[in-house]
Structure formats: C-alpha cells, structure tokens
Amino acid sequence: MIRYSLTCDHDHSFESWFKSAEAFETLRAAGHVACAICGSTTVSKNLMAPAVRPAGKAKDRPLATQKSELQQAIEAMRRQVEENSEYVGLNFASEARRIHEGEAPGRSIYGEAKIEEAKKLLEEGVPVAPLPFMPVRKTN
C-alpha cells in the first residue's frame, strides 16, 4: 500500500492510500479520486519523501524484524531434533509403531503424520508429540 499526499485544483490538501502507483493513476484517470473537502476530481500528488527507517542496533529495530525469544527457542529445538534424530518423513506413524513394538531398532525419529495417525499412535500407547515446526523434507 502507498499513502499519497494529494492536492486538488482548489488547493485543498488531503491524504489517501492506494494499492500501487498504477492503481492511483488508473483511479485518477477514471475520475474516482476526489478531494475529501470539495469533491473536485482534478487531483495531483504532492512531492513526498519515502519513509525510511534509519539503521540501528537490533534492539532499536521494529519487533517485526527482530527474532523473538520464542522464535529463537523453536530454531534451537529444530537444530537439536535434526542433529539427534532420524528423519523418517511420511513413514513416521508406521516407523514409530515398529519401534514401539520392537520390530525396528530403538532410536529417536521425527517425521510427518496426519492428525488421525498421531491420535491412533497415542491411543496405542506409542509416545509421540507434535513439533512446533514443519520438518524440512529431505529428498534425494
């Protein structure tokens, strides 16, 4: 979205938001941009400076650009899981069941399962827990 400072042919100043510069020009050409004070459709953009934030320390940046403690904790958990567990992908439910029943060697695994599959594992007494992140699918 772009906020423009506008002036009509009667020298009234007002502001309005537009999806893009092209959207402003299209609406203005069609007579859909009108002065908020007098209704004139003869409107022009005023000279404006872009809103640029100065560089600074991370603590001075807007929250949207900082990693929260929660995000950092989730990233640390992801690294821990990936370094110490085997990714079994979409075979998670069957492999967890095989490990639980002693048909496969015991080890830490992670992967992906449908919610119904995960519920069934829990009902069967297989200890599983959801992760707060989506695994990166490993391919050949």
Domain ranges within the chain, ordered by starting residue: 2-45, 67-123
Higher pLDDT, 98 or 61: 98
Q: What is the pLDDT of residue 95?
A: 96
DSSP state of 104: S
Q: Rounded to whole angstroms, what are the CA distances from 23 to 8, 20, 33, 70?
A: 18, 5, 11, 39
Higher pLDDT, 139 or 111: 111
Q: What is the pLDDT of residue 37?
A: 84
Q: What is the pLDDT of residue 17?
A: 87
Three-state secondary-structure class, residue 117: helix
Is the pTM above the cut of 0.85?
A: no
Question: Above 70 in pLDDT, residue 107?
Answer: yes
Which pair of structure tokens corresponds to residue 134?
């989506």
Contacts of 9 (CB under 8 A, 6+ apart): 40, 42, 43
Angle subtended at Cα 99 by Cα 105 and Cα 91, rounded to the nearest 5 degrees: 105
Question: Above 80 in pLDDT, residue 113?
Answer: yes
Contacts of 124 (CB under 8 A, 6+ apart): 97, 100
Q: What is the pLDDT of residue 19?
A: 87
Q: What is the pLDDT of residue 135?
A: 73
List pLDDT tens digits, range 6-55: 999 999 988 888 888 898 999 999 988 998 888 899 999 987 766 666 66
List pLDDT tens digits, range 60-91: 555 555 678 888 888 898 899 999 999 999 99
Contacts of 66 (CB under 8 A, 6+ apart): 58, 59
Tell me how far apart the alpha carbons of residues 5 and 16 are, in angstroms, rounded to a whole number.
7
